[in-house]
Amino acid sequence: SIGLMCVRRVAMVCGLAVLCAGCSGMSADRSLPVGAAAYGVIPAPNGDASVAAYRIGALDVLKLTVFQEKDLSFDEIQVDASGNLSLPLIGTVHAAGDTTSELSSEIARALGEKYLVNPQVSVTVASSVSQNVTVEGNVGQPGVYAINGTSTLLQALAQAQSPNEVAKLDQVVIFRNIDGRRAGAVFDVEAIREGRAADPEVRGGDVIVVGFDAMKGAFRDFLKAVPLLYVFRYF
């Protein structure tokens, strides 16, 4: 009967909730750093740095000027997919992840070692195509979002309409390519919201994954089944 089917469905959902009580849902890889160690991999923004500090990314187009050295200067030079520039005299220079100031200093240092005396180098961003972050998992609207300058985890999650009702808030992972290798760290969004933990910096190219809380998911399914129980009671 319909009533019996309803009871069975509610019982099944309740049983699922009990089974899930001992599980953690979709959790991050236990080898990833958490707590204070997580900020060693993905730090919070430096309060002394400019909020608008921009970090160069793969495929960005730069303007490079070496004072009084026309052959070493470029109105447009593109960072390759690996994050590198190929420059006269000094060869390959890794640019992705640097600010324009940091890259200017690196190029000046390399030129000054063998080729020029006290070179004056200026780097600016002509156009940017790299400043996107991917937010996936249990958020309101997973997707790829543009960021400008320095952004944070909470700001990126807000763009994705925030964690949903079944999100596991202490299992939010940021993945980042660092020196050509993929690194990741686990953060507790609830602690960040409450001011008990710092809000980590998010950069272009980062991937954010919000975990699933099995208990919350089971409870949501239970609530969906409750109206059927009331239908059975009124027959």
The pLDDT tens digits for 43-99 are: 988 754 444 568 888 889 999 999 999 999 999 999 998 999 999 999 999 999 899
Domain annotation covers residue 115 = yes
Is the same domain home to 138 and 207?
yes
- Helices 214-234, 2-20: axis angle to 10 degrees equals 160
**Alpha helix stretches (DSSP H) within 57-211:** 100-114, 153-159, 189-193
Query: What pLDDT is stored for residue 225 in this prediction?
Result: 56
154 and 195 inside one domain: yes
Instruction: Report how many domains make up the chain.
Output: 3
CB proximity list for 213: less than 8 A, separation 6 or greater: 24, 25, 138, 166, 167, 168, 169
pLDDT the model gives residue 231: 46
Domain boundary among 127, 155, 172: 127
For residue 32, which of 23, 20, 45, 41 has the smallest C-alpha distance?
A: 41
116: containing domain: 61-127
Domain match, 112 and 20 both: no
Low-confidence residues in the chain, pLDDT < 50: 2, 17-18, 20-25, 48-51, 229, 231-235
- Assess whether 140 and 204 both reside in one domain: yes
Position 54 in a domain: no
User: Which of the listed residues 96, 127, 158 is the one where a domain comes to its end?
Assistant: 127
Domain of 45, CATH number, reads 3.10.560.10
**149 in the same domain as 118:** no
Residue 230 within a domain? yes
Same domain, 42 and 2: no
The answer to whether residues 31 and 65 belong to one domain is no
Can you give the pLDDT at residue 49? 47
Note whether 44 and 98 are same-domain residues: no
Q: Six-digit token pair at 8?
A: 């069975």
Is residue 56 a part of any domain in this protein?
no
18 located within any domain: yes
Q: Is residue 234 part of a domain?
A: yes
Whether residue 188 is contained in a domain is answered as yes
Residues 136 and 203 in one domain: yes
80 and 37 share one domain: no
Of 215, 213, 220, 219, the closest CA to residue 163 belongs to 213
pLDDT the model gives residue 100: 94
